[in-house]
Each structure stands twice: as C-alpha cells, then as structure tokens.
Amino acid sequence: MENINQKILQAGSFLFILAGVVYLLCEAITAYAWSNPSYQYAINYISDLGIPVVTQYMGRTINSPLYFVMNFGFFANGILFAIAYFMIMNTLPSKRKIIGLALTAIYAIGITMVGMFPGYDWWGEPFHGIGAMLAIVGGNLSILCGGLMSHRIFPQKWVSTLSVIFCIIGIISFALFIGINNNMYAAVFERMSVYTIMVWCIIFGLFVQVKSRNMNVSDYEMNLKV
C-alpha cells in the first residue's frame, strides 16, 4: 500500500507512539527529581508532579523541582495524540469517525488544562479538576472509538477487544479514584485511569506501524468496503 494513505498511517502511528513515550518519560524524569520527600507512585498523584510551588496539599508534601517537565508532557501528549488520531481516522470514509475525533478534541483540551492549571490551592484549581475529568473520560472513550474503528483498515479483532478492555478499566478506575479520593492509595486508581490511554497509544501505534508497512492497496480498499 505504497500510497498517500500508507504514509499517513505510518506517520500517525509514529506520533501515537511518541505521545505515549513522551508522557511516560516526562513523568519518570519529574518523579525522579523529587528528593525531599521522594515521590511515591502509589501515594502521590500525577498532578503533584506539575505543581510549581513547595506546599502541602491534601496531606501530601509537594516539592517538584522539574514541574515544567511534567507540564510539558501534558501539553505534548495532548497535541501529539490529537494529530495522530486525526491523521489515522481521516483515512476512513465512515461518518462515525466524527465521534472519535470529537472525543479526542475533548481529551486534548482537558490534558492541556491539566498542564495550564496545576492542582493545588489557588484560583486555578477548579480548572485543573475539570481538565482532568475531560482528559480521563474523553481519552478513554476516544481509544475505545479508535480501536473499534481500526477494523475498517485492519481486520484483526484483538485491537478492538483490547481497546474495549482498556476503556472499561480506565473508566472504572477513574470512578474508584473519585470515590476514594481521600484514601492514601487513591493515586493507584488515578494512574490506572491514565495509563490505559498511554499504553494504548504505544500498542496501537506499533500495531498500525507494522500492519501498514505490510498492507497493499487492494487489501486497504477491500477492508474499507467491509
């Protein structure tokens, strides 16, 4: 399938991989920079990494010297995810892709708000919460749509199944996170609701990258008609 659609699929899939890797790398670098106290993945929220001041918040001591790295990760992920999603879904003729694109826009806006408005006691805190909700719900629903729509290009059902499983895990984890928000280990469920999106980006990106390289024009056109 050496045509414009193949090149678009390969470029979009690369951006998906990059979106997941950049986010996880920024998170790891920012967390590693914490020293007093050390960052604890099971206790500290992801949002703690992007707070620009040393403070106490909800019983947690916040001291993130590389907060700007995490906030860059939020911004970069939102932009890369949105571009990648648009590129790949735009190769499909179905009008149903509009739902996925709308959810992706919600995700991109939400995660951008998370980076713009850090989550601690100040006037911008409510916007952080709104952004987090938009990002987590919108992101998990967008990977669901992306996975279900991918069979129009690639017939392998495991991608759609995995996307459904990831979405369910992400939404349930977010609900549990909200329900036990004051629990010491609520961060575990917060992470589960976000990592479903990041891991999906990498897996889906690798899948599309490999499959698009081995697909010819006739296979592509035949799958679109199914």
Domains observed in the chain: 4-221 (1.20.1070)
What is the C-alpha end-to-end distance of the chain, expressed in Å? 18
> Looking at residues 111-128, what average pLDDT do you find?
93
Question: Which residue would you say has higher pLDDT here, 218 or 24?
Answer: 24
> Looking at residues 181-201, what average pLDDT do you find?
93
> Looking at residues 118-123, what average pLDDT do you find?
88
Residue 180 CB neighbour total at 10 angstroms: 13
154 has pLDDT over 60? yes
Tokens of 91: 């190769």
Q: How far, in Å, CA of 44 to CA of 213, rounded?
A: 41
Q: What is the pTM of this model?
A: 0.91
SS3 61: strand
114 has pLDDT over 70? yes
- Taking only the tens place, the pLDDT of each residue in 47-85 is 999 999 999 988 899 999 999 999 999 999 999 999 999
Contact status, residue 169 vs residue 150, Cβ threshold 8 Å? no
Residue 216: what pLDDT?
Answer: 61
